[in-house]
Amino acid sequence: MVDMSEANKQKVAIVTGSSSGIGYATSLMLARKGFYTYASVRNISRSARLEYEANAEKLPLKLIQLDVTDVDSVKDALEKIVSEKGRIDVLVNNAGYGLFGAFEDISLDEIKAQYDTNVFGLIRTTQAVLPTMRKQKSGIIVNVSSINGQIAFPGISAYASTKFATEGLSESVAYELEPFGIKVVLIEPGPVGSNFMKGSVLPKTALDPRSPYSETETKLGK
Protein backbone atom coordinates (compact mmCIF):
# COMPACT_ATOMS: atom_id res chain seq x y z
CA MET A 1 0.00 0.00 0.00
CA VAL A 2 1.32 3.45 -0.90
CA ASP A 3 1.97 5.66 2.09
CA MET A 4 0.15 8.79 0.90
CA SER A 5 1.66 11.02 3.57
CA GLU A 6 5.12 10.03 2.25
CA ALA A 7 4.07 10.40 -1.42
CA ASN A 8 2.63 13.85 -0.77
CA LYS A 9 5.76 15.27 0.80
CA GLN A 10 7.53 17.90 -1.30
CA LYS A 11 10.58 16.33 -2.90
CA VAL A 12 13.95 17.87 -2.11
CA ALA A 13 16.81 18.18 -4.60
CA ILE A 14 20.37 19.43 -4.42
CA VAL A 15 22.46 20.38 -7.45
CA THR A 16 26.21 21.03 -7.29
CA GLY A 17 27.82 23.74 -9.46
CA SER A 18 24.67 25.81 -9.96
CA SER A 19 26.35 29.13 -10.68
CA SER A 20 26.31 28.55 -14.45
CA GLY A 21 25.66 26.20 -17.35
CA ILE A 22 24.07 22.80 -16.85
CA GLY A 23 23.82 23.16 -13.05
CA TYR A 24 22.12 26.55 -13.35
CA ALA A 25 19.55 25.24 -15.84
CA THR A 26 18.99 22.00 -13.90
CA SER A 27 18.34 23.87 -10.64
CA LEU A 28 15.72 26.06 -12.30
CA MET A 29 14.15 23.08 -14.07
CA LEU A 30 13.84 21.06 -10.84
CA ALA A 31 12.35 24.04 -8.98
CA ARG A 32 9.87 24.65 -11.83
CA LYS A 33 8.85 20.97 -11.56
CA GLY A 34 8.02 21.54 -7.87
CA PHE A 35 11.15 20.17 -6.19
CA TYR A 36 12.35 22.21 -3.22
CA THR A 37 15.74 22.82 -4.82
CA TYR A 38 18.97 23.64 -3.07
CA ALA A 39 21.06 25.22 -5.80
CA SER A 40 24.58 24.90 -4.46
CA VAL A 41 27.43 27.17 -5.48
CA ARG A 42 31.02 27.23 -4.26
CA ASN A 43 31.05 31.02 -4.24
CA ILE A 44 27.81 32.57 -3.06
CA SER A 45 28.74 35.90 -4.69
CA ARG A 46 28.23 34.18 -8.08
CA SER A 47 24.59 33.35 -7.37
CA ALA A 48 22.84 36.71 -7.82
CA ARG A 49 21.42 36.00 -11.30
CA LEU A 50 20.02 32.61 -10.30
CA GLU A 51 18.52 34.04 -7.12
CA TYR A 52 16.94 36.89 -9.11
CA GLU A 53 15.44 34.50 -11.67
CA ALA A 54 14.09 32.13 -9.00
CA ASN A 55 12.56 34.99 -7.00
CA ALA A 56 10.98 36.50 -10.11
CA GLU A 57 9.20 33.19 -10.79
CA LYS A 58 8.55 32.56 -7.06
CA LEU A 59 10.28 29.19 -7.35
CA PRO A 60 11.02 26.92 -4.38
CA LEU A 61 14.77 27.41 -4.80
CA LYS A 62 17.33 28.22 -2.13
CA LEU A 63 21.01 29.06 -2.67
CA ILE A 64 23.49 27.19 -0.50
CA GLN A 65 27.30 27.30 -0.35
CA LEU A 66 29.04 24.05 -1.27
CA ASP A 67 32.56 23.50 -2.58
CA VAL A 68 32.85 19.85 -3.61
CA THR A 69 36.58 19.84 -2.83
CA ASP A 70 35.98 20.85 0.80
CA VAL A 71 34.70 18.03 3.00
CA ASP A 72 33.46 20.42 5.72
CA SER A 73 31.57 22.50 3.20
CA VAL A 74 29.87 19.35 1.83
CA LYS A 75 29.04 18.14 5.35
CA ASP A 76 27.67 21.54 6.47
CA ALA A 77 25.48 21.91 3.37
CA LEU A 78 24.02 18.41 3.59
CA GLU A 79 23.40 18.69 7.35
CA LYS A 80 21.63 22.00 6.79
CA ILE A 81 19.34 20.48 4.15
CA VAL A 82 18.46 17.48 6.32
CA SER A 83 17.81 19.68 9.35
CA GLU A 84 15.57 22.01 7.31
CA LYS A 85 13.72 19.48 5.16
CA GLY A 86 14.35 16.10 6.76
CA ARG A 87 14.98 14.41 3.40
CA ILE A 88 16.96 14.45 0.14
CA ASP A 89 15.31 12.93 -2.92
CA VAL A 90 17.67 13.98 -5.70
CA LEU A 91 21.39 14.74 -5.79
CA VAL A 92 22.74 16.09 -9.08
CA ASN A 93 26.54 15.76 -9.16
CA ASN A 94 27.24 18.38 -11.80
CA ALA A 95 30.20 20.49 -10.56
CA GLY A 96 33.23 19.99 -12.75
CA TYR A 97 35.75 21.53 -15.08
CA GLY A 98 38.10 20.48 -17.88
CA LEU A 99 41.88 20.21 -17.61
CA PHE A 100 43.15 20.02 -21.16
CA GLY A 101 46.56 19.60 -22.76
CA ALA A 102 49.04 16.86 -23.65
CA PHE A 103 49.46 14.27 -20.91
CA GLU A 104 53.22 14.79 -20.56
CA ASP A 105 52.72 18.53 -20.14
CA ILE A 106 50.37 18.19 -17.17
CA SER A 107 51.81 18.24 -13.67
CA LEU A 108 50.72 15.70 -11.08
CA ASP A 109 49.29 18.52 -8.95
CA GLU A 110 47.18 19.74 -11.86
CA ILE A 111 45.85 16.20 -12.40
CA LYS A 112 45.18 15.77 -8.67
CA ALA A 113 43.18 19.02 -8.62
CA GLN A 114 41.15 17.80 -11.62
CA TYR A 115 40.34 14.52 -9.83
CA ASP A 116 39.64 16.33 -6.56
CA THR A 117 36.74 18.18 -8.20
CA ASN A 118 35.44 15.83 -10.89
CA VAL A 119 35.83 12.49 -9.07
CA PHE A 120 36.42 13.01 -5.35
CA GLY A 121 33.92 15.88 -5.31
CA LEU A 122 31.23 13.52 -6.58
CA ILE A 123 32.35 10.87 -4.07
CA ARG A 124 32.16 13.36 -1.16
CA THR A 125 28.62 14.51 -1.94
CA THR A 126 27.34 11.01 -2.76
CA GLN A 127 28.70 9.45 0.43
CA ALA A 128 27.21 12.37 2.37
CA VAL A 129 23.64 11.86 1.02
CA LEU A 130 23.53 8.05 1.14
CA PRO A 131 22.67 7.58 4.83
CA THR A 132 19.63 9.86 4.36
CA MET A 133 18.51 8.17 1.13
CA ARG A 134 18.97 4.69 2.60
CA LYS A 135 16.84 5.64 5.60
CA GLN A 136 14.14 6.93 3.23
CA LYS A 137 14.52 3.80 1.03
CA SER A 138 14.41 6.13 -1.97
CA GLY A 139 16.51 8.64 -3.88
CA ILE A 140 18.04 9.45 -7.24
CA ILE A 141 21.69 10.30 -7.78
CA VAL A 142 22.37 11.94 -11.13
CA ASN A 143 26.02 11.96 -12.16
CA VAL A 144 26.92 14.37 -14.94
CA SER A 145 29.61 12.53 -16.89
CA SER A 146 30.33 13.37 -20.54
CA ILE A 147 30.57 11.86 -23.97
CA ASN A 148 34.25 11.86 -22.93
CA GLY A 149 33.32 9.25 -20.33
CA GLN A 150 32.82 6.95 -23.33
CA ILE A 151 35.37 8.17 -25.88
CA ALA A 152 38.59 10.16 -25.67
CA PHE A 153 40.82 12.00 -28.12
CA PRO A 154 44.22 13.75 -27.86
CA GLY A 155 44.61 16.49 -25.27
CA ILE A 156 41.89 15.38 -22.85
CA SER A 157 43.53 12.51 -20.93
CA ALA A 158 43.04 14.15 -17.52
CA TYR A 159 39.44 15.22 -18.10
CA ALA A 160 38.35 12.05 -19.94
CA SER A 161 39.87 9.81 -17.28
CA THR A 162 37.81 11.56 -14.58
CA LYS A 163 34.68 10.95 -16.64
CA PHE A 164 35.61 7.31 -17.33
CA ALA A 165 36.04 6.97 -13.54
CA THR A 166 32.60 8.48 -13.05
CA GLU A 167 31.12 5.85 -15.38
CA GLY A 168 32.69 2.86 -13.58
CA LEU A 169 31.84 4.21 -10.17
CA SER A 170 28.23 4.91 -11.18
CA GLU A 171 27.71 1.49 -12.73
CA SER A 172 28.99 -0.41 -9.70
CA VAL A 173 27.24 1.77 -7.13
CA ALA A 174 23.93 1.53 -9.05
CA TYR A 175 23.87 -2.24 -8.38
CA GLU A 176 24.77 -1.74 -4.71
CA LEU A 177 22.03 0.82 -4.16
CA GLU A 178 19.21 -0.86 -6.05
CA PRO A 179 18.09 -2.98 -3.04
CA PHE A 180 17.73 0.26 -1.04
CA GLY A 181 15.40 1.86 -3.61
CA ILE A 182 18.08 4.33 -4.74
CA LYS A 183 18.69 4.88 -8.44
CA VAL A 184 21.89 6.12 -10.09
CA VAL A 185 21.57 7.96 -13.40
CA LEU A 186 24.46 8.83 -15.72
CA ILE A 187 24.24 11.80 -18.06
CA GLU A 188 26.75 11.88 -20.93
CA PRO A 189 26.34 15.24 -22.67
CA GLY A 190 28.05 16.17 -25.90
CA PRO A 191 29.05 19.84 -26.35
CA VAL A 192 26.76 22.18 -24.40
CA GLY A 193 26.88 25.99 -24.53
CA SER A 194 28.01 27.03 -21.02
CA ASN A 195 31.00 28.56 -19.25
CA PHE A 196 32.80 25.22 -19.57
CA MET A 197 35.51 26.32 -22.03
CA LYS A 198 36.01 29.60 -20.14
CA GLY A 199 36.42 27.66 -16.88
CA SER A 200 38.73 25.04 -18.34
CA VAL A 201 42.37 24.88 -17.29
CA LEU A 202 45.48 24.44 -19.44
CA PRO A 203 48.67 23.10 -17.87
CA LYS A 204 51.31 25.80 -17.46
CA THR A 205 53.79 24.02 -19.74
CA ALA A 206 51.21 23.63 -22.54
CA LEU A 207 51.49 27.37 -23.12
CA ASP A 208 55.23 27.05 -23.70
CA PRO A 209 55.97 26.99 -27.46
CA ARG A 210 58.96 24.71 -26.69
CA SER A 211 56.59 21.94 -25.57
CA PRO A 212 57.05 18.93 -27.90
CA TYR A 213 53.26 18.84 -28.06
CA SER A 214 52.88 22.51 -28.98
CA GLU A 215 51.94 21.77 -32.59
CA THR A 216 49.27 19.21 -31.65
CA GLU A 217 47.89 21.53 -29.01
CA THR A 218 47.71 24.40 -31.47
CA LYS A 219 45.78 22.16 -33.88
CA LEU A 220 43.41 21.26 -31.04
CA GLY A 221 42.80 24.96 -30.50
CA LYS A 222 44.55 25.60 -27.18
Residues at the site binding ligand NAP, with contacts judged by CB under 6 A: 16-17, 19-23, 42-43, 46, 67-69, 94-97, 117, 121, 144, 146, 189, 191-192, 194-196, 199
Q: Which residues contact 158 (CB under 8 A, 6 or more apart)?
A: 99, 100, 101, 103, 106, 110, 111, 114
Nearer to ligand NAP, 47 or 132 (CB): 47
Report residue 110 CA to chain centroid gap. Answer: 19
| 213 annotated active-site | no
Nearest distance from C-beta of residue 16 to ligand NAP, angstroms:
5
Q: Which residues contact 111 (CB under 8 A, 6 or more apart)?
A: 99, 158
Task: Identify the active-site residue in 36, 38, 97, 159.
Answer: 159
Nearer to ligand NAP, 186 or 211 (CB): 186
Q: Which residues contact 47 (CB under 8 A, 6 or more apart)?
A: 18, 19, 39, 41, 63
Nearer to ligand NAP, 157 or 211 (CB): 157
Nearest distance from C-beta of residue 134 to ligand NAP, angstroms:
24
Task: Identify the active-site residue in 11, 62, 85, 163.
Answer: 163
Nearest distance from C-beta of residue 156 to ligand NAP, angstroms:
11
78-97 CB burial, b ≥16 within 10 A, e <16: beebbeebebbbbbbbbbbb
Point out the residue whose Cβ comes nearest to ligand NAP: 21
| 80 annotated active-site | no
Nearest distance from C-beta of residue 193 to ligand NAP, angstroms:
7
Nearer to ligand NAP, 179 or 193 (CB): 193
Task: Identify the active-site residue in 145, 146, 170, 211.
Answer: 145
| 145 annotated active-site | yes
Residues with a catalytic annotation lie at 19, 145, 159, 163
